[in-house]
Amino acid sequence: MLCMLLTLLQFFATKFLVLALHLEAGSFPKPLSAREEIETFAALRAGDRSAREKIIRHNLRLVAHVAKKYYAQPGDQEDLISIGTIGLMKAVDTFDTTRKARFATYASRCIENAILTPANAGRRIGTISTALGVVLVLFRVYREGGPVDLILR
């Protein structure tokens, strides 16, 4: 129950953060430099909660960039950015600063995974139901003695 409440809170916070950033500046903030990134993660590991928000805020451009690859309809963009931002939050929490990779490299994979996981689940369900429907139609035509080979062409 608490986990679901936290997820819901993150979702609304994400929506608010994206809206506030668009209204405030008209665009996303610039990414952090390598030095700023190291300093901000050090502050985060020391317990500074505002450092987490700063990292998320300065990487929203990355979320929008990754989400842009996956939306097909205009309404999809906001949903994918919200889902991608949750992936970004997970990336901030799990990033290992001792490795030599930049945060954006790690975060882009987390964002893509967050976006693709629900998309793939939905696609599989749709593909299975569509394929099953085609098979059932072909079987019914075959059983009734119809020209199945004409349908398959």
Domain 2-128 has CATH 1.10.1740.10: yes
Q: Locate 27 and state its tokens.
A: 């665009």
Distances, alpha carbon 24 to alpha carbons 17, 20, 27, 117, 153, in Å? 10, 6, 8, 31, 56
| SS3 labels along 13-25 | HHHHHHHHHHHHH
Instruction: Give residue-wise pLDDT tens across range 132-145.
Output: 656 666 666 666 66
Q: Token match 């809170």: residue?
A: 9
Taking the C-alpha atoms of residue 14 and residue 53, their distance in angstroms, rounded to an integer, is: 11
Q: Please state, as a whole number, how many other Cβ atoms lie within 10 Å of the Cβ of residue 20.
A: 11
Handedness of CA 112, 114, 119, 124 (dihedral sign): positive
Listed in sequence order, the residues at least 6 apart from 19 whose beta carbon sits closer than 8 Å to its beta carbon are: none
Has this prediction a pTM greater than 0.85?
A: no
Instruction: Give residue-wise pLDDT tens across range 40-55.
Output: 999 999 999 999 999 9
Instruction: Give residue-wise pLDDT tens across range 76-130.
Output: 778 888 889 999 999 999 999 998 889 999 999 999 999 888 765 655 434 444 5
Instruction: Give residue-wise pLDDT tens across range 55-70.
Output: 999 999 999 999 888 7
Cα-Cα-Cα-Cα dihedral of 114, 78, 125, 90, to 10°? 10
Q: Of residues 23 and 6, which shows the higher confidence score?
A: 6
Taking the C-alpha atoms of residue 41 and residue 92, their distance in angstroms, rounded to an integer, is: 9
